[in-house]
Amino acid sequence: LPTRAGSSLEPEEHSMEPPAMPEEMPLTTASGPAGCQLFGYVGIEAVLDQMKIKTMKTGFEFNIMVVGQSGLGKSTMVNTLFKSKVSRKASHAGQEERIPRTVQLQSITHVIEEKGVKMKLTVTDTPGFGDQINNENCWDPIIKYINEQYERYLHEEILITRKRKIPDTRVHGCVYFVPPTGHWLRPLDLEFMRRLSKIVNVVPVIAKADTLTLEERAEFKQRIQEDLKTHAISVYPQEDFDQDPDDRALNDRIREKIPFAVVGADQEHQVNGKRVLGRKTKWGIIEVENPAHCEFPLLRDLLIRSHLQDLKDITHNVHYESYRVRRLNESNRP
């Protein structure tokens, strides 16, 4: 009999457990389906202010890499993005401006501040990429550099006594400059993006888009999209990492316009009584921040205003995580 009583009581106890959860859950919200409400102001929303104050004190870290042939305006584009001389070029023609025989990576770090928000910005340039007659394996130094930053972060992370805040030198975004040929993507472009898209967020752009007419630009962009789809190259923002319908809808609109046709300029000109960034030609002034002239505003919004944190999250949770798993598997292998 005790066993029967015990067995008969068990389903009653289990049946009592599910209703207990809905009764407790509405207490965490202002109002719930059962009509439960908070009796007064608790101050939960102050967490957002705490996070903002703490983040503004510590600041952000953002690391960007620009890849492309010489003369495509990589340094100018970075200066235009951050409206400051964050990417320096040689002041006079000399030994430094000669085309290097191999790909050399140069990193420049700045701390820029806007309205109390500090950002430690590291710009990595890749002089010599694609400038040789034989460009075989010219992506190897870039892949090596990206993996070295992952290795450096991993080494700090697995220490027994590690730093409270690990310095983040990992590349969060790689902007790849496609020459404005108006034809198809070159084998070099396809091979680079195929290899690099597996380890870093690659954002392709059409450089110096003012050399193309609007019709040529639209046709070239469509051909690039077809090439990327044919060769199964997943550039940022990747479809696999959309977390909810709102993200997917926003990223779908961005994917329709990738690669962005951009024009860079670091000089201001007078247009209708306003000072605007642009390139002056004998036909007029190409306004960099005017969406009717080029798609630079879309690139700036993607990299800074809307997806900067997402770039960092995907770098940490996807690309770095896959590297970490691979390295730890290698070390545990007998």
Question: How far is the C-alpha of 60 from the C-alpha of 122, rounded, in Å?
Answer: 11
For 201-259, the pLDDT digits (tens) are 999 999 999 889 989 999 999 999 999 999 999 999 999 888 888 889 999 999 999 99
Q: What is the pLDDT of residues 139-178, one digit of tens each?
A: 999 999 999 999 999 999 999 998 888 999 999 999 999 9
Task: For residues 162 and 265, give the distance between their C-alpha atoms in angstroms, rounded to a whole number.
Answer: 43
pLDDT at position 266 is 79
pLDDT-derived band at 87, boundaries 50, 70, 90: confident
**Structure confidence at residue 261 as a pLDDT band (50, 70, 90):** very high
Residue for token digits 């719930």? 32
To 5 degrees, how large is the angle CA 40–CA 42–CA 48? 140
Q: What is the pLDDT confidence band of residue 100, given thresholds at 50, 70 and 90?
A: low
Identify the pLDDT of residue 101: 60
93 pLDDT higher than 60: no
Residue 310 pLDDT level (bands cut at 50, 70, 90) = very high
Query: Looking at the predicted structure, is the pLDDT value of residue 62 above 90?
Result: yes
Contacts of 287 (CB under 8 A, 6+ apart): 271, 276, 277, 278, 293
Residue 117 has pLDDT above 50, yes or no: yes
Q: Going edge to edge, which strands form the sheet with 284-287?
A: 268-271, 274-281, 284-287
Higher model confidence: residue 273 or residue 18? 273
Range with lowest mean pLDDT among 27-31, 122-126, 308-312, 329-333 = 27-31
128 versus 167: the higher-pLDDT residue is 167
CATH superfamily of 48-87+101-126+136-332: P-loop containing nucleotide triphosphate hydrolases (3.40.50.300)
Predicted TM-score (pTM) of this structure: 0.82
Which H or E element spans position 34?
A: none
- Per the prediction, the chain carries an average pLDDT of 84
Higher pLDDT, 286 or 315: 315
Highest mean pLDDT out of 97-101, 131-135, 163-167, 222-226: 222-226
pLDDT (0 to 100) of residue 88: 63
* pLDDT for 26 beyond 70: no
pLDDT average, residue stretch 182-209: 93
| pLDDT level of residue 128 (50, 70, 90 thresholds) | confident
Residue ranges in 181-232 assigned as alpha helix (H): 187-196, 214-230
Q: pLDDT band for position 278 (50/70/90)?
A: confident
Q: Give which of 322, 314, 86, 70 is closest to 203, Cα–Cα.
A: 314
Q: Residue 294 corresponds to which tokens in the numbers above?
A: 């080029």
Domain boundaries, the chain: 48-87+101-126+136-332
Express each pLDDT in 48-58 by its tens digit. 889 888 888 88
Q: What's the pLDDT score for residue 9?
A: 42
Confidence of residue 188 (pLDDT cuts 50, 70, 90): very high
